[in-house]
Amino acid sequence: MSSLKRLNLIESHLTSRFPTIPFDESLNDYRKKGTPINKTLLLESYLGHFYPGIMERRRIMHENPLFNHFDEAELSREALRKRIVQQIAAIYPSAGLNYKVVKEDYTKKLELLYGMADYDIALAVRLLVHLVLYTDTVTNLGTAKHLNLVDRAYNLQDYGSFGMTELGHGSNVASVETTAVYDHSTREFILNSPTATSAKWWIGAIGKTANMSVIFAQLFVDNINKGVHAFVVPIRKNDASHETFPGVVLGDCGKKIGLEGIDNGFILFKNYRIPYDCLLDKFSSINPEGKFKSAIKNKEKRFGIMIAGLVGGRVSCTSGCEQDMRNGLTIALRFSAVRKQFSGQEGPELPVLNYPLQRYRLIPHLAKTFATRASVIYSLGTNINTFFKRLEEDPECLEVNEFHAVLSALKVVTSWYGIACLQECREAVGGLGYSSYAQLGRIRNNQDVMATWEGDNSVLIQQAGKFLFKQVQKTFKGQKIQAKTLKFLKTDINEVNLFKPKFENSEQLENEAVLLEIIEYRVNILLHQSLLKLQENTMTSIDMIDAWNKAQVYYIQELSKAYGELILTNDFLRFVNELAAKDQVLGKIFRKYWLLYTIGVIEKSLVTLMENVFNATHVKAIRESIMRLCNELAEDSIQVIDALATPDLVLGSVLGVSDGQIYKKMVETVEKGKRVYEKPEWLPLLLKVKGIKN
């Protein structure tokens, strides 16, 4: 603890108008209920290869008074933005990133961002826009001549932004309206924003900060539209004046639901000329004779590669969801262990975490958090270096497409997990959760945006669906399924229909093989139901797109989510097995979490399963298992959260403190608030309303 923080603490003791608050043993009591576990081992396993990087960031934040959520609560938007730049300056150099380091191991970049996201998604995202969206795009789509820009980016000599979304186009990026017309006479491009809706919108770091931006625009060569291309464009003078260049309009998008520390802005171009080298020309170029050529002929595929810069963002999104959930649950669980309300017919009031309902509300989210973490480690973390390598070698290969599909499904599923989890945490904490000092509002409002950015969930999930159908289509032509994650697919409906669930009670249900079979069956049956629905729709639809759109609800969207949850199930099981090999006690606890996660996934598809193979006996077993697992795991949950929680000062929640002194912390924080004991500034108005002469 810094001396400043210590001083503040002492001060508050001396000035409080509250009765003295005795030490509250409730959290310790709950802690003792749990099985003692090896917390360090658990944390190391849980953070995986990100462990050292995240711990280093925690250390930096812990020691630095700049990282203090309570101070931030009352900051104005501009002050918050200043604070976040100070925080980036304090933490970024520790990562020692440059082109070479990242090329060798991309996870070095991720571990920095994940460490920052422990504190606040906003902090990580503020840097991510520059470090991932901007820098990766220049790296992946640029050529040798752009390498100096990459170096400048890693040195923070340039601060970049990512000009893709427009006011009128978010999901359908292929239809952005910004134009880049090639002028061969000067070998320049002329950027224009022909309409208000073509304004680049929501662009992080544009409002105030960035001097560079990657701009996605329709490229015209000889009046022919060559599709969307990316340009790296200077937008503000990189000197003390920080002036916007003539021909560019940059503004601030104003107040948002959350993430106020990020200066999202808009960009307009008016006949803004940029030299040829601004084109990121790895896949498309214009030769000195003015002739356009592209390594990838298909416009749609070319576009798919153009947005490869989003990969790091989506991976971080998934990790961010896990962090938001874990932070939210740390707060909700610790609170629930301390908060006492009602008793049995006799005896003292009980911690609300004793109630089966509260356990059912929270513990399944903890299981989802762990599943998400497992996919961040394996499907995403372990594979991302291979992905970038394969992307460079062959951007159209199966592995690249499969990674995109897996990532799309995971981003979507986990962001919705996160939104549901944070809302539940907020409510489970009751009225006190409505205080800003609980931090659940901030985390929830930050999590909220995960559903609509980096690919809107309802649209992005269709990418996973398309991948599945493309792979299946190949089998209709006699090819075998090559995709690693789809080996289990059964393309023959008769084979699928042979399936019978192998349990009649909860004991039989809680079996790895039995559960995995159901998880796979679920994808298979949804696939066939979706295929059937598509086939039906072709009779009543104007075209294939129409048929596709009409098969989203109940079918393709459910299929794609089921695919994502299959990945999560498998990754989570791998995590449990590796953990069990290291520590039996932990293995036993986490195997229960895996059971709860997997049975919970099955429960959400009960209607589909009952349409086909399940009956009332299966439902009964599922509900019994869920309630039993929630009850058993709740007893251990404080121990487990202790191991995995973000440290108090980084988490910054009065209700989530590890010493369990939640009331004390709440009172101290409220008493340090703005004008807490002062009369209203608007007293004269109040007196007037009440008819009191002043």
Write the interaction track for a second copy spanning residues 641-670; mark x where CB under 8 A is met and - where it is not. ----------------------xx-xx-xx
Q: Does 426 bind a second copy (CB under 8 A)?
A: yes
Q: Of residues 2, 8, 21, 632, which one binds a second copy by CB under 8 A?
A: 21
Least separation in angstroms between residue 195's CB and a second copy is: 6
Least separation in angstroms between residue 225's CB and a second copy is: 16
- CA atoms lying within 13 Å on the CB side of residue 616: 0
Q: Of residues 132, 449, 599, 621, which one binds a second copy by CB under 8 A?
A: 449
Residue 550 CA, chain-centre distance (Å), reads 28
Please list, residue by residue across 69-87, b when 16 or more beta carbons sit within 10 angstroms of its beta carbon and e when fewer do. bbebbeeeeeebbebbbeb
Which amino acid is it at 395?
A: P
Least separation in angstroms between residue 70's CB and a second copy is: 10
Cα–Cα separations (whole angstroms), residue 488 to 223, 524, 610: 49, 9, 22
Q: Does 333 bind a second copy (CB under 8 A)?
A: no
Q: Does 271 bind a second copy (CB under 8 A)?
A: no
Nearer to a second copy, 318 or 435 (CB): 435
Q: Of residues 145, 297, 477, 674, which one binds a second copy by CB under 8 A?
A: 674
Q: Which residues contact 513 (CB under 8 A, 6 or more apart)?
A: 502
Nearer to a second copy, 179 or 485 (CB): 179
Q: Which residues contact 655 (CB under 8 A, 6 or more apart)?
A: 331, 334, 335, 429, 432, 433, 437, 438, 440, 662, 665, 666
Q: Of residues 124, 250, 567, 638, which one binds a second copy by CB under 8 A?
A: 250
Q: Which residues contact 395 (CB under 8 A, 6 or more apart)?
A: 283, 296, 305, 308
Q: Does 557 bind a second copy (CB under 8 A)?
A: yes
* CB contact at 8 A, 45 and 580: no
On whether 165 is known to bind a ligand per the annotation, the reply is yes
Nearer to a second copy, 72 or 571 (CB): 72
Q: Does 85 bind a second copy (CB under 8 A)?
A: yes
Q: Does 445 bind a second copy (CB under 8 A)?
A: yes
Nearer to a second copy, 483 or 662 (CB): 662
Q: Helices 584-604 and 512-540 sit at what angle, rounded to 10 degrees?
A: 30
* CA neighbor of 337 nearest in space, from 325, 329, 327, 326: 329
Least separation in angstroms between residue 233's CB and a second copy is: 18
Q: Of residues 10, 14, 15, 17, which one binds a second copy by CB under 8 A?
A: 17
Q: Helices 77-91 and 121-128 sit at what angle, rounded to 10 degrees?
A: 70
Q: Of residues 26, 493, 554, 591, which one binds a second copy by CB under 8 A?
A: 554
Least separation in angstroms between residue 441's CB and a second copy is: 3
Q: Of residues 242, 291, 487, 582, which one binds a second copy by CB under 8 A?
A: 242
DSSP string, 624-651: HHHHHHHHHHHHHHHHHHHHHPPPHHHH
Residues binding a second copy: number (CB under 8 A): 141
Tell me the CA end-to-end span of the chain in Å, nearest whole number: 48
Residue 202 parent element (H or E): strand 200-203
Distance CA 481, CA 426 (A): 44
Q: Does 686 bind a second copy (CB under 8 A)?
A: yes
Strands (E), 33-168: 162-163
Contact window for a second copy (CB under 8 A) among 221-229, 272-280, 445-453, 569-577: 445-453
592-621: which residues touch a second copy (CB under 8 A)?
606-607, 610-612, 615-616, 619
- CA atoms lying within 13 Å on the CB side of residue 64: 16
Q: Which residues are catalytic?
A: 454
CA dihedral of 540, 543, 546, 548, whole degrees rounded to 10: 100
Q: Of residues 167, 274, 315, 425, which one binds a second copy by CB under 8 A?
A: 167
Q: What are phi and psi of 633, to 5 degrees?
A: -70, -30
Nearer to a second copy, 210 or 380 (CB): 210
Nearer to a second copy, 48 or 320 (CB): 320
Q: Does 385 bind a second copy (CB under 8 A)?
A: no
In the numeric block, the tokens 């427009």 are attached to: 166
- Going 208 to 313 to 563 to 448, the CA torsion angle's sign is negative
Q: Of residues 35, 148, 175, 271, which one binds a second copy by CB under 8 A?
A: 175
* CB contact at 8 A, 322 and 369: yes
Three-state DSSP class for 501? coil
Q: Of residues 31, 58, 81, 665, which one binds a second copy by CB under 8 A?
A: 81
Q: Does 101 bind a second copy (CB under 8 A)?
A: no
Q: Of residues 8, 12, 238, 294, which one binds a second copy by CB under 8 A?
A: 238
Q: Does 240 bind a second copy (CB under 8 A)?
A: yes
Nearer to a second copy, 100 or 674 (CB): 674
Q: Does 469 bind a second copy (CB under 8 A)?
A: no
Q: Does 627 bind a second copy (CB under 8 A)?
A: yes
In the numeric block, the tokens 């190949």 are attached to: 474
Q: From the annotation, which residues make up the binding site for FAD?
A: 165, 204
Q: From the annotation, which residues make up the binding site?
A: 165, 204
